Amino acid sequence: MLKGKTALVTGSTSGIGLGIAKALARQGANIVLNGFGGVEGPKAEVAALGAKVAYHGADMSKPAEIEEMMKFAAAQFGRVDILVNNAGIQHVAPVEDFPPEKWDAIIAINLSSAFHASRLALPAMKAANWGRIINLASVHGLVASAQKSAYVAAKHGLVGLTKVTALENATTGVTCNAICPGWVLTPLVQKQVDAKAAANGWTNEEATKQLLGEKEPSLQFTTPEELGELAVFFCSDAAKNVRGVAWNMDGGWAAQ
Ligand code: NAD
């Protein structure tokens, strides 16, 4: 379905981003990976699906590096047709104890990076009259949890950016939508499970059960593979009039 198209997925060396990159690769897209940590493993996983794959290590908190990454992607494959703004970090603390540098980093990586990548991707998408921008927001783009001020502010902002981007391009072949997962068991969430286990003297299993029970009625994690299939749907022709939605896949979290 996506043969000949190029997808750039930020923060795709791990977790949800890698799951989405693999789902798009299965549809035939060329993939540009980004993110920190081991790169060879993720590259090999995507290449094994038959996709052409490139990697750029831009730090998504740095606009100049984002610009370099967008130029690199265009030089590798012609242009970016699908942009998945996925890179994200978390920090948990009450507002009065929240380190200002963590606030700045979360806003930069979870929100501003999507603005920068989108503004740089849009001209070529509009010229081709085809494009898909998919913003990895969160159920925290729709509702709040205590101790997550920067994350909730960034994700609500990302849902707002999604709507504006969708509206500005509504008469073109460029769509923009957000995906809002509940809990997904990635390194980002395992850290929160570990903190719960340490604070309460629980096993990993007890802490996981507690984490799900507090928020997610299905008591099940959403998987990167399921989120990948939603991203594939947003890229399909059938979704060409899906514009500006914030689509939760959250086990009923936001329905409460
Ligand atoms: P993860 O920690 O597994 O992956 C995060 C990715 O972002 C990694 O590839 C990491 O290297 C990259 N990254 C971090 N800082 C970066 C930076 N400055 N520059 C470039 N890359 C950077 O996390 P995940 O759970 O897969 O999260 C992916 C996205 O999904 C995030 O935006 C997160 O907020 C969102 N999300 C996650 C969950 C969940 O339960 N895991 C739920 C809702 C939304």
Residue-wise pLDDT for 93-148, tens only, equals 999 999 999 999 999 999 999 999 999 999 999 999 999 999 999 999 999 999 99
- 89: Cβ below 6 Å to ligand 1? yes
Strand 30-34: give its sheet, edge to edge.
53-56, 30-34, 6-9, 82-85, 131-136, 174-181, 246-249
The alpha carbon of residue 161 and the mean position of all alpha carbons in its chain are separated, in whole angstroms, by 14
Rounded to an integer, what is the distance from CA 111 to the centroid of its chain? Answer: 11
Non-local (6+) Cβ contacts of 64 within 8 A are: none
What was the pLDDT predicted at 70?
98
Share above pLDDT 70 across residues of the chain, in percent, rounded to a whole number: 100
pLDDT score recorded for residue 109: 98
Please state the domain extents for the chain: 6-184+223-255, 185-221
Across the chain, mean pLDDT equals 98
Instruction: Report pLDDT for 232.
Output: 98
pLDDT of residue 224: 98
**Which CATH architecture best describes the domain 6-184+223-255?**
3-Layer(aba) Sandwich (3.40)
Q: Which atom of ligand 1 is nearest to the CA of 62?
A: 18
pTM tops 0.85, yes or no: yes
Q: Which of the four pLDDT bands, split at 50, 70 and 90, describes residue 74?
A: very high
Q: For residues 153 and 240, what is the distance between their CA atoms, to the nearest angstrom?
A: 29
Å from CA of 65 to ligand 1 middle: 18
55 noted as active-site residue: no
Question: Ligand 1 in contact with 86 (CB < 6 A)?
Answer: yes
The one catalytic residue in 77, 151, 183, 221 is 151
The answer to whether residue 219 scores a pLDDT higher than 90 is yes
Q: How far apart are CA 103 and CA 154, in angstroms?
A: 9
Q: What is the pLDDT of residues 226-252, one digit of tens each?
A: 999 999 999 999 999 999 999 999 999
Q: Is the CB of 109 under 6 A from ligand 1?
A: yes
Q: What is the pLDDT of residues 77-95, one digit of tens each?
A: 999 999 999 999 999 999 9
Q: Is the CB of 87 under 6 A from ligand 1?
A: yes
Ligand 1 centre to CA of 85 (Å) is: 10
In ligand 1, the atom with minimum distance to the C-alpha of 181 is 43
Confidence class for position 32, pLDDT limits 50, 70, 90: very high
For residue 96, count other CB atoms closer than 10 A to its CB: 6
Q: CB under 8 Å to 214, separation ≥6 — which residues?
A: none
User: Residue 188 — very low, low, confident or very high, per pLDDT cuts 50/70/90?
Assistant: confident
Is the distance from the beta carbon of residue 135 to the nearest atom of ligand 1 less than 6 Å? no
Give the bridge partners for 93, in sequence order: 148
Residue whose CA lies nearest to ligand 1 atom number 36? 138
141 pocket-lining for ligand 1 (C-beta < 6 Å):
no
What is the arithmetic mean of pLDDT over 20-33?
98
pLDDT given at position 237: 98
